[in-house]
Amino acid sequence: MKLIKVVGFIFQFGLIGLALATVYLVSVSDKDKNEILQFLSSSEDQYTTGPDNKSAVFSYADAVASSAASVVTIYTSKTVTEKPHPLLDDPVFSKFFGDQLKRRQRSRSETNLGSGVVIGSDGYILTNQHVIDSADEILISLPDGRGSQAILIGEDKETDIAILQIPITGLAGIKIANEQSIRVGDVVLAIGNPLNVGQTVTMGIVSATGRNRIGLNTFENFIQTDAAINPGNSGGALINARGELIGINTAIFSQSVGAQGIGFAIPISLALDIMRQIIKFGKVTRGWLGVEGTEITAQAAMATGDPGIKGALVVGVFINSPADMAGIRAGDIVIAVNDKPVDGIRDLLDQITMHKPDEKIKVSIYRGPEQLELMMKVTQRPQ
């Protein structure tokens, strides 16, 4: 009996609550009803994750489709002769056994794998210099199955860029991005042929820009990315989400320290500048002063009277170089070139190389507490 009374009590209050809710909904204005419905609708939109959500990106297939046809595979081979047996340096041993050892010297063929990017319809291909270094034969395989031998137009070891050309017409040139649009956090895609498994696309973001002092090249201005870059990807394309080329994939960070997700690509603006110079002049022209430098030591800074001085400390001068002819000495601190401040030895190197050979420049230095301005004419940087 008690249970029946409790259930009846709950049922009665339930009916009363339902009646009050009905009266409230009838009494609210149309405006209030619309506000309630809009709130409920917006709450549902917050949890929409399907294809109807137009703001989300569910595929980069269009970006890949517009650029993948321009990414090629590069196969190289070269003949390597084994080093002479060290005992051949011994005159007695060489006299009795030299002929036998010389006959046993063998040559072997080394092969290498890399990727490249077609620039324009005239057959020019951008890749890394280390991909084709000392190659006797270079073969190009296109994504559509066609192939051809390539000729080496030119190479620049100091930026790790090489230019190839193939005699095939109707090639699809890749779209070039505006370098100013590259930002840290942008989605990027790496296209190449890693480990010869076939053309492969990996995804990541721009982790950093302007990376240098990595120790890979003389001149470094890398785009850093966490998109997977493996052996065979070198020379391939790093594209943005619109399918535009922003860099040439070059290297991964040393595996000896167990690093992952740290890859480097050469900015396309730098690669295209090297390409234009090689095609037009057959070489890359860079200015050269002829100094060796390092970061400013505390002792050198104190000698100037300004402990916070910025610049590059000269530790050596090449004989008969522009710097030598102008009177620069070891111990001088270079603080500016043409009134542009120098922020370290790397910045000095970059500034000087931007000037063409035979161009006159003004170099501002500190020699102890004395500030001097020297005029000099840069020359072509030796290879």
Count CB-CB contacts under 10 A for residue 295. 12
The C-alpha atoms of residue 162 and residue 218 are separated, in whole angstroms, by 15
Q: Say which of 67, 70, 207, 234 is annotated catalytic.
A: 234
- Residue where the block lists tokens 């391939």: 236
355 catalytically annotated: no
CA distance 160 to 152: 14
Active-site pick, 130, 207, 321, 332: 130
Question: Has 234 been annotated as catalytic?
Answer: yes
Q: Which of 156, 160, 332, 347 is catalytic?
A: 160
Return the DSSP state at 178: P
Q: Which amino acid is at 191?
A: I
Residue 298, SS3 per DSSP = helix
HSE, side-chain direction, 13 A CA sphere, residue 232: 14
CA 155, CA 57: separation in Å to the nearest integer? 39
Spatial neighbors of 59 by CB under 8 A, at least 6 apart, are none
Query: What is the residue type of 254?
Result: S
* CA separation for the pair 361, 346 (Å, rounded): 18
Q: Which DSSP category does 116 fall into?
A: E
- Reference 136, options 78, 56, 85; nearest CA is 78
Produce one character per residue of 268-285: b if its CB has 16 or more CB atoms within 10 Å, e if not: bbbbbebbebbeeeeebe
32 is catalytic: no
Residue type, 285: T
Bridge partners (DSSP) listed for residue 154: 163
Residue 213 has which token pair? 């002092």
Q: For residues 87 and 98, give the distance between their C-alpha atoms in angstroms, rounded to a whole number.
A: 8
Interatomic CA distance for residues 164 and 365, integer angstroms? 42
**Beta partners for 227?**
none
- For the annotated catalytic residues, the residue numbers are 130, 160, 234
